[in-house]
Structure 1
Amino acid sequence: MLRNPIHFGRPKVILTLSLCFALLMTGCSLLHVSTESRLFLNLSASFLGEYDLPQSDFKGTTVGGFSALSYDRQRDRIYALSDDDTNPRFYTLNLNRQDLSNPSITVEDVTLLADPLKTETAPASLDGEGIELTHQGTIFVASEGNIAAQVPPRLSEFQLESGLWTGDLPLPKHYWTLNEDGTKTLGVQPDRGLESLAINAEGDRLFAALEAPLTQDTPLSTDRPYYSRFLHYWIGEPEPLLISENLYPLDPPMPGSQKYGLSDIIPVDDGGHFLSLERSYSPSTGYSAKIYQMVTGGATDTSRNHDLSLDSQSIAPTLKKQLLNLSDLNIELQNLEGLILGPYLEDGSRSLILVSDNGFEANTPTQFLLLRLEQKAQSST
């Protein structure tokens, strides 16, 4: 005996509601895809060629340890920063791209950087990890600092031709705070400080980012998000000014990883679109690297947030989307640290150039990768 009578009209209502719900969810999904397509640029990157530069001697210096690149469009030359804190310098390189599948690099010059903070007690005060050319004929260098020697991270400006120091940009206090006894409780981690440096096409904005979370931001477990800090400066007239700081979401370290983090950033336009390079290393799998699109629109300004552990739930980070997994190129990757937008190619597309840091190992060449970056019209859907 049925306790409840069957009403034949009820399934129609349920079916109608189900269809409406399905359409609503489909609409939400399409809305998400449409929003994402408008948020990120329609970019693609393809591999063109690889070149290995053997370690060599040039004008009394060792050519190697490249940690960053900067492209001089007027001179069609590349500046490569050498990660040698005892003798900071950068090299002028000429990229021969007549055969894109087999590019070549020629070392033309070396410029020593004169650091006024270098003393007998602090001989390694400039540990260069990022380099960027300005419109005023100077270069900025990002230094990650030396915790053991109590040398803070720095954003320093030098003359391009002479290498003479002209000044430093101010950094937020939460990047480097020493206690009275000399111990450090807030700030960059050892060898994981300022790593990325970039300037927009107009030349009035500078961007810098950390390789890894600040000491106070480091999550206690791998199921919590890892955030690097991303700085945005005004460097035009009348004087430099920190505009904002945002969070960059890092890929969590894989089990067994000994190195991981954000290696470089480059602006694609003046609309808050960037490319970022993340790399990691594991003894079992070697080096891996990925290029992401990154957008800053809607990200929370964290310049007043000294410690993310106190308040991170309400903070909106920058967003990223994978552009290219370099491990899919089926070539042996080295320790890729530098990424730049290089010269335009014959078809009108832009080149992407990556460089590795060989750690001044004589038998390990410096790896250069040449990619094509293409942008298509945004999808209307």
Structure 2
Amino acid sequence: MNSSLTLRASAAALVLTAAMAPAVAAQPDDPAARSTIGVHARLLGEKIVPHKLSFQNTTVGGLSGVDRDPCSGEYVMISDDRSYLQPARFYTARIKVDAGGVHSVDFTGTHPFLQPDGSVYPPASAGDGKAVDPEELRVDPRTCRYWWAQEGDRPKSASEPVIQPSIQFADRSGAYRGQLRLPPQYEITMADRGIRRNKAVEAITFGAGSRVLTSAVEGPLIQDGPEPTVEHGALIRVTQQSRNGAVLGQFAYPLEKIFAESDPSSPWPPDTGVASILAFPGDPSRYLVLERTWVAGAGFKIRIYDATTRGATDVRRMDSLAGQRVVPMHKKLVADFADLGLSTVDNTEGMTWGPTLRNGERTLLLVSDDNFAEDEVTQIVALGIR
């Protein structure tokens, strides 16, 4: 992430040098695309939720997605606790935010997500293939039910069960109400195909007046090329579907390079990907995209981009992007958290539109996933967007 990818007028092709990488065609100078990109963000304020806050016999933490509920005016946040501390669940909260900042975060309720048989999800350690890894939640603008995405699990060994990713529907108490048919590329399949471990469906959003559900995988599919390094980025897939699961379009989104070298003494490799995607009201082709990166010794890098599918190649019928000539989505940097003056830059993974301010700015609320770790925080950040 040493530099943001900007619109380019060059007609030459930018070819990634990695052996498995796709050939990325230069982004054309498209006046229509340029006219939809160019928002700006400023910090309104932030609030830190007490670490491991106890609420209704649960531990608040792992908040990896947030959405505003149009039926109540409250916010709904999903926890990525894989039923280790308590059953996989979501929270509701009143968040008071205005031009003066984030004034309060008051939790009002929590419910577990239920399986089709009405039981809670077991912990991943149960090894029965029924566990889930919750990552994102959106409130259905039509029904105010919850659509939530979970990453599943590509096992480390053949003796462990495969848990497929899913996007499920739940009522407001967490009861199971159905599941969206995912595109075939999102399945965990053979060793050399499909979604990487812990890089599955991390981001979903409603757009086009709730007629379209857009999802993004966190990292590149195995067959699409290598993961980002400090030398090159990667392409991940963004898919637009109808409410009944029909694929309307699929596009390549250009993920940034790793922004710093990792501490060589750390056993943990860099972790990067798209953590959240948010549709612009009234424009089904335009999104805010949240890229989250962690590097040992360097910490977190959080960036928000304004991106559009307009002019991008529809890749839904491409089994692999490797070696293919692809025009990716246009994108432009909106905010780098390192430049906002926050008390800390942490593991931010969720974002949603908030209320419109009197000056015409739209608020954007973001939440960080503390991983229930002592050295991380649950941080609510509010930005003004214009």
TM-score, normalised by the number of residues in structure 1: 0.81
Q: Which residue of 2 aligns with 1:211?
A: 218
Deviates more, 1:356-365 or 1:290-299: 356-365
Q: Deviations over 1:193-212 (max 9, x none)?
A: 11111002611111110111
Moved more, 212-221 or 107-116: 212-221
Deviations 1:327-374 (A, max 9, x none): 112332010101111112232321011110000125643011111011
Aligned equivalents of 1:370, 1:121: Cα separation in 2 = 39
Q: 1:206 to 1:102 in 2, by over 3 A?
A: closer
Q: Which stretch has the larger CA shift, 184-193 or 241-250?
A: 184-193
C-alpha displacement of 1:70: 0.9
In structure 2, do the counterparts of structure 1 residues 277 and 221 end up closer, same or farther at CA, with 3 Å as the change threshold? closer
In the other structure, the counterpart of 1:174 is 185
The CA RMSD over aligned residues, in Å, is 2.4
Residues of 2 paired with 1:189 and 1:280: CA distance?
Answer: 16
**Identity score, percent:** 27
What is the distance in 1 between the residues matched to 2:358 and 2:332? 28
**Does residue 251 of the first structure (1) align with residue 247 of the second (2)?**
no
Distance in 2 of aligned mates of 1:290 and 1:45: 11
Superposition map of 1:72-221 within 5 A: 72-86=69-83, 87-97=87-97, 100-116=100-116, 118=121, 121-122=127-128, 125-134=131-140, 135-148=142-155, 149-159=161-171, 161-179=172-190, 184-200=191-207, 202-219=209-226
CA distance in 2, matches of 1:349, 1:220: 36
> Whole-Å Cα distance in 1 between the matches of residues 255 and 385 of structure 2?
23
Query: What amino acid sits opposite 1:306 in the alignment?
Result: D
Aligned-partner Cα distance in 2 for 1:37–1:241: 25
In 2, Cα distance between equivalents of 1:142 and 1:213: 18
**Separation in 2, partners of 1:102, 1:220:** 36
Q: Does 317-326 or 338-347 show the bigger shift?
A: 338-347
Alpha-carbon distance between aligned partners in 1 of 2:40 and 2:69, rounded to the nearest angstrom: 24
**What's the secondary structure of 1:174's corresponding residue?**
helix
More helix as a share of residues: 1
Aligned partner (choices 293, 302, 322) of residue 306 of structure 2: 293
Contact 2:227 2:233 in 1 (8 A): no
Residues 47-66 of structure 1: matches in 2 within 5 Å? 47-54=43-50, 55-66=52-63
Aligned length: 335
| 1:131/1:140 contact within 8 Å kept | yes
3-state SS of 1:188 partner: coil
Contact 1:85/1:124, CA 8 A, preserved across alignment: no
Aligned counterparts of 1:221 and 1:163: Cα–Cα separation in 2? 36
Shift of 1:281: 1.3
Distance 1:34 1:127 in 2: 39
On the 8 A contact 1:76/1:343 being kept in 2, the answer is: no
Distance 1:177 1:109 in 2: 34
Larger CA deviation: 212-221 vs 350-359: 212-221
1:265 paired to 2:283: no
SS in 2 for 1:369: strand
The alpha-carbon distance between structure 1 residues 53 and 173, as it changes in their structure 2 partners (threshold 3 A), is same
Unaligned stretches of 5+ in structure 2?
A: 1-8, 12-27, 156-160, 263-268
Verify: 1:231 aligned to 2:239, yes or no.
yes
Q: Which has the higher contact order (CA 8 A, sep 6+)?
A: 2
- State the AA in 2 paired with 1:105: V
- The 3 A distance-change label for structure 1 pair 282 and 36 is farther
Contact 1:276–1:291 under 8 Å retained in 2: yes
Residue matched to 1:328: 339
In the alignment, the residues of structure 1 paired with residue 246 and residue 30 of structure 2 have an alpha-carbon distance, to the nearest angstrom, of: 36
1:172 Cα deviation from its structure 2 partner: 2.4
Residue 102 and residue 124 in structure 1: after superposition, are their counterparts in 2 closer, same or farther (change >3 A)? same
- 1:345 and 2:357 are equivalent in the alignment: yes
> Are positions 1:45 and 2:41 aligned together?
yes
SS in 1 for 2:321: coil
**Equivalence map 1:349-368=2 (5 Å):** 349-362=361-374, 364-368=376-380
- CA change 1:84–1:221 in 2 (3 A) is closer
- TM-score, with normalisation over the residues of structure 2? 0.80
Code of the aligned partner of 2:350? G
Q: In the alignment, is the contact (CA less than 8 A) between 2:45 and 2:101 conserved in 1?
A: yes
Q: Does the 8 A contact of 1:115 with 1:126 survive in 2?
A: no
Measure, in 2, the Cα distance between the counterparts of 1:221 and 1:144.
20
Matched, 1:241 2:253: no
CA distance in 1, matches of 2:106, 2:352: 18
Residue 308 of structure 1 and its aligned partner are, at CA, apart by: 1.5
Are the counterparts in 2 of residues 228 and 247 from structure 1 also a CA contact under 8 Å? yes
Other-structure match for 2:295: 282
